[in-house]
Amino acid sequence: MILDFASQSTLVKYRLLNNTLTPRPITLAVSVNANGVINIAPFSFLGVVSSNPIVFSLCLSPKSDGMPKDTFQNAISTKKLTLNLPNQDFVECIQKTSQELESNLSEASVFHIPIEALYPSYPPILKGIDTAYFCDLLEVLEFGTYDKTLLLQAKACYIDDEIYTQDLSFTPWHLGRVGKFFVCKNQVIESSHNKK
């Protein structure tokens, strides 16, 4: 079957990507708004654009009401994001933070998610995370009416001392996304959202 994208809806295109480009890395992006409110949001459309300098792309679709996500607005305002790469211990956190909150509410406060500031002038990491990248906003790419892609340059990386090795041969077991499922270590992890 050939699906010509010119005649496909936004939802069809999204679901095709969601189910075919797998596994996709998941990030819990942490940003701070102008009033100091900490936003935590999960994304699975994260990619590496360059290894030197390290540049990521992060694709953000709008909120359900069509407005830009808080992550996008905060990145535009502060030019900073911290990308946390979660493991299996963070499945519940991913599910909770996927809920849309008012921009004056912090997911860290509402869902009692412990955070810690490790790198000056960048948003905090989630406590217990084993890898995170502290990033500056380089550019915003707009290809269509709805989605926006952030190009983010990593300025520093946090790696938990428990997994770090001098020869960089460590393997953190981060979560990935395959369709609507999480995967980790070649294991499919059932999401409570999938059981509905």
167 or 187, greater pLDDT: 167
- For residue 8, is it within any domain? yes
- For residue 156, is it within any domain? yes
- For residue 192, is it within any domain? no
- For residue 169, is it within any domain? yes
Q: How far is CA 120 from the centre of its chain?
A: 21
Token couple for 45: 């459309």
What's the structural domain count of the chain?
A: 1
Banded model confidence at residue 196, pLDDT cuts 50, 70, 90:
very low
Residue range of the domain that includes 39: 3-182
- For residue 189, is it within any domain? no
What pTM did the predictor assign? 0.83
186 or 86, greater pLDDT: 86
Of 42, 120, 54, nearest in space to 83 by CA: 42
Count other C-beta atoms under 10 Å from residue 150's C-beta: 23
- For residue 194, is it within any domain? no
Of 23-27, 46-50, 84-88, 153-157, which range is least confident?
23-27
Banded model confidence at residue 15, pLDDT cuts 50, 70, 90:
confident
Phi, psi for residue 40 in degrees, rounded to 5: -125, 125
Residue with tokens 């050939």: 2
86 or 74, greater pLDDT: 74
CATH at 39: 2.30.110.10
Banded model confidence at residue 4, pLDDT cuts 50, 70, 90:
confident
Q: How far is CA 196 from the centre of its chain?
A: 23
81 pLDDT higher than 90: yes
